[in-house]
Structure formats: structure tokens, C-alpha cells
Amino acid sequence: MGTWHVGPFDNDVAMDFFDEIEETPDEQVLKKLSEVLAAVAERPGRVELDEGHLAVAAAGLVAAGRSRSAATGGRAAAARPARGALGLRPGLGAPPMFRGAA
């Protein structure tokens, strides 16, 4: 596993999860995010590193989606985060869902 910075998507596990979410149909995104968060929240004892990376990534997507939804008033917007809300740095390149976004 590679980690290159401290942001929620600055590691291979989180970016793989981000890619997986991006390929998930919109109507299934919230279910997938909920499953990841519930798995960590309900786990007794310590959380493994990769599980922690997934949970932080899922929480980041939920927070970013809620911010965009609140700003636009749309439910569909909640499934996709706003540009920059994930703490992705310009030098890493934007994920496909952000390319061309205003």
C-alpha cells in the first residue's frame, strides 16, 4: 500500500475505493458508503489500517456530497462530491468525475 500525504485520498486503498465508487451506479452509491462506514463503526476493538482508510474515504465522500447537495438543493448531487472538497491536490491530477467540472 502506498501513502503519499495526509489527505483522505492520499493512499492507494482510498483511491481504489474512489474509483470503485465512481463506477458504481448512482442509486447504489449511498448503500456502498453506508456499508463501509457501518463495518468500521460496528467493529469491536481496533480497526485495521485499510479499513480505516476506507472509512475516512467514505466519510469524505459523504461530507462532500452533503455539501454539494445543500448548495444546489438536489438529491442527485449528494451522490457526487464537489470539486476540491476531497482535498485532492492539483499535482496528482483530478479524478475523471472532476474533469471539466465548474
Structural domain including 45 reads: 12-81
Question: Residue 3: its pLDDT value, please?
Answer: 72
In-domain check, residue 96? no
Domain contains 45: yes
Residue 71 counted as domain residue: yes
Between 90 and 51, whose confidence is greater?
51
Within-domain flag for 2: no
The pLDDT score that the predictor gives to residue 1 is 55
Domain assignment present for 87: no
Return d(Cα 63, Cα 58) in angstroms, integer: 9
Q: How far apart are CA 83 and CA 87, in angstroms?
A: 9
Residue 28 in any domain: the answer is: yes
Let me know if residue 100 belongs to a domain: no
Would residue 102 count as lying in a domain? no
- Per residue in 30-86, pLDDT tens? 899 999 999 999 988 999 999 999 999 999 998 887 765 554 555 554 445 544 444
Count of structural domains, the chain: 1
